[in-house]
Each structure stands twice: as structure tokens, then as C-alpha cells.
Amino acid sequence: MNEYVVEMKGIVKNFGQVQAVKHGEFTLKKGEIHSLIGENGAGKSTMMKLLYGMYPIDEGEIIVKGEPMGTITPKIAIEHGVGMVHQEFMLVNELTVLENIILGFEPKKGLTIDFDKARKEVKKYIEQYHMDVQLDKKVSQISVGEAQRVEIIKTLMRGADIIILDEPTVGLDPIQIIEIRNLVKELGKRHTVIFSSHILSEVQAICDKILIISKGKLTALGTPLELERQLRSAGEIVLTTDAEAEKARALLSALPHITQVEPAESAADGAVTVHLKTDCEDMHAVSRSIFFAFAKENQALLELSVRKASLEDVFLELTESGQTEETEADVS
């Protein structure tokens, strides 16, 4: 049995002379929350729309639950359990929330719509995911956050077990962002979720796997921890000392796990500030070794602060350096 519910292999998509996706690849296991991140125009939204069948691929292959898709359309995607919540909501303002949710999939009672049955089915999802949704309000009367929840219920009602969310927190206030973030975590307990975001702290808090796309190409794929370990430096230390600049540099350069010592900055009062980078994840151990090295030479440390590498550092290093090494094989 294939362990992947989604495989996108060698995907190429051109819009005229612009190549939006260049040999894009990723795999997705059942039950994963997987994020696509990249700068604006990187190709992350295009990759998701290709999976949902909104655009035809020019080259490559899409496999869903072990089945090669060939030509894929939104209708075919829905039939295979793939649903998508777009940045631009697909809701009719003058219909009620309930009418929007069942639109095109209305349960029938004879020749009429069975609204009682529809309401019961929708309420199951509202209760299961603890969503605040008012079914009898018109869409024109609800908030952006509530509209986002309505779109997610629509997707669930159509039987999606692979849910694509394109920038789900755009336009939301801080409270609504927290609510959607918690909802995505809940969805991930029962479904497979793919979402794009440019808020890196949000991605780090939610995702099992992260795919970084830059200029239409896969740059890196892994868990947040695996991506952090790809950094040339695990963190940064800034210290201030009364030692002379060259003395401080010499002491620091001789220590293990120090990968870079930047030129020292001297202040008017004679204090010297040094920025350095380390490849050791145990920042406290590195800090202790610095302290003892300076104490041994009778040099005072006036201040020392540490900053562990973050997903933002990974993103900046991999995209700005132009690194295109594919790491998918290392993080199956």
C-alpha cells in the first residue's frame, strides 16, 4: 500500500513566458499538516491550485491515494477527497450560511431541499470542531473569520479528507488568527492538511512538515527541527567585554563550535561588542565555555545574550543564498 496520499512529481507550470513552478515535487502522508512557504510569487499557491485542478500542469505527474490523476479538475479532485479553501471566498453574499454550505450538494426530500437534514449534518461538523457559525445569517452579515470557517465546513461537507488552505489567516484579526490556527490543528487530527502561509511563526507552531519554495523551485523539505539543523549556524551570541578587540576575537575563535566571529565593535567607554555564530544546539553549553575562557584570562564579560536559530533564519538563508538542494530524500 502506498504510504503517500499525495505525490507531485516533476511539476512544471508556465503562464506565458513566466515559469511559475519549476520541477516542483512533494509528498504528503495521511494525517500530516504540511505547509508551503515562500516569498510572494514563489509558486506556493500555484502548486496547491494545480493539485486541486484549477490549472492544468504542463509537465509532471500528480498521484492521489496511489492513483495517477492524469487530467485533473476541481470536480475530479473533490471526487478523490481533495478540497480547497481559497483566499478569495467562494460564497454568495445574499444566501444564508447554511444555503452556501450545501449549495450544489443539497439533500433532497422529494423535489424540495431537506433543510432539516442539511442543518443536522452541518451541526455535526460545527460541534466536532467547536466552531462558532451562525447558520441563518446571510454571508454579507458575517465576519471574515466566520466566512473562513464556513468555507472549511463546505469542504468537509463534500467529503474532503485532504484539505488545502491557501493563506487561511490573511485579513484576520489576532483573535481570529488564533481561532483558525487551533482549528487547523484540530483538522489535522482527522484529516490531511496542506496550507500556505507567509507567517513563519504560525507555520512553526502548527506543521509536521514544511516545504520551502523559492522562485518556483523546491528549496527544502522537512520538519521544523530538520530544517533548523540545515542551517550553517544553530544560533547567534552577542557579548560585550572589557577585553581588547583582538584579544576577544582570539579567545572566541579558539573555542569549539564557534563558526563565525564578526569584527568587534568598540564603544567610547572602551567596551567591545562581538557577534558570533555557533553550530551547537546547546547554546547554554557554548555560553559556559565562553564564560570560562574569558575568566581564565581574567577578562570580564559585561553582557552576553543568545538567540537560537528560527524558521525565519532557515527561510532567509535558503532563499537568499539561492540554495536549491532538494532534501526530500532525507525526510521521508
pLDDT at position 85 over 90: yes
How far is C-alpha 148 from the chain's CA centre? Answer: 18
- The structural domain count of the chain equals 2
CATH of residue 241: 3.30.70.260
- Residue keyed to cell 489535522: 188
* pLDDT at residue 329 in the model: 30
- In tens, the pLDDT along 25-80 reads 888 999 899 998 887 777 888 999 999 999 999 999 999 999 999 889 999 999 99
- In tens, the pLDDT along 177-223 reads 889 989 999 999 999 999 988 777 778 888 888 888 877 777 778 88
Q: Of residues 116 and 2, which shows the higher confidence score?
A: 116
For the packed helices 283-296 and 245-253, what is the interaxial angle rounded to 10 degrees?
130
Among candidate residues 133, 100, 104, 102, the one with its CA nearest the CA of residue 116: 102
3-state secondary structure of 284: helix
* pLDDT at residue 109 in the model: 87
Same domain, 164 and 299: no
How far is C-alpha 11 from the chain's CA centre? Answer: 20
User: For residue 35, what are the β-bridge partners?
Assistant: 195, 210
Same domain, 263 and 173: no
Same domain, 140 and 112: yes
The model's confidence at residue 321, banded by pLDDT at 50, 70 and 90, is low
Same domain, 214 and 291: no
* pLDDT at residue 254 in the model: 93
* pLDDT at residue 23 in the model: 84
Mean pLDDT of all residues in 155-173: 91
* pLDDT at residue 328 in the model: 35
Same domain, 142 and 249: no
pLDDT at position 236 over 90: no
Range of the domain at 250: 235-308
Among candidate residues 200, 201, 202, the one with its CA nearest the CA of residue 212: 200
Same domain, 89 and 218: yes
Q: What is the rounded CA–CA span in Å between residue 116 and residue 62?
A: 39
Same domain, 127 and 275: no
Same domain, 188 and 274: no
Same domain, 268 and 203: no
* pLDDT at residue 74 in the model: 94
Question: What is the pTM assigned to this prediction?
Answer: 0.76
Q: What is the rounded CA–CA span in Å between residue 265 and residue 246?
A: 11
- In tens, the pLDDT along 242-260 reads 998 899 999 999 999 998 8
Same domain, 224 and 240: no
* pLDDT at residue 234 in the model: 63
CATH of residue 117: 3.40.50.300
Same domain, 20 and 90: yes
The model's confidence at residue 326, banded by pLDDT at 50, 70 and 90, is very low
3-state secondary structure of 265: strand
Burial profile 82-101: b = 16 or more Cβ within 10 angstroms, e = fewer: bbbbbeebebeeeebbbbbb
Same domain, 11 and 126: yes
pLDDT at position 317 over 80: no
* pLDDT at residue 231 in the model: 59
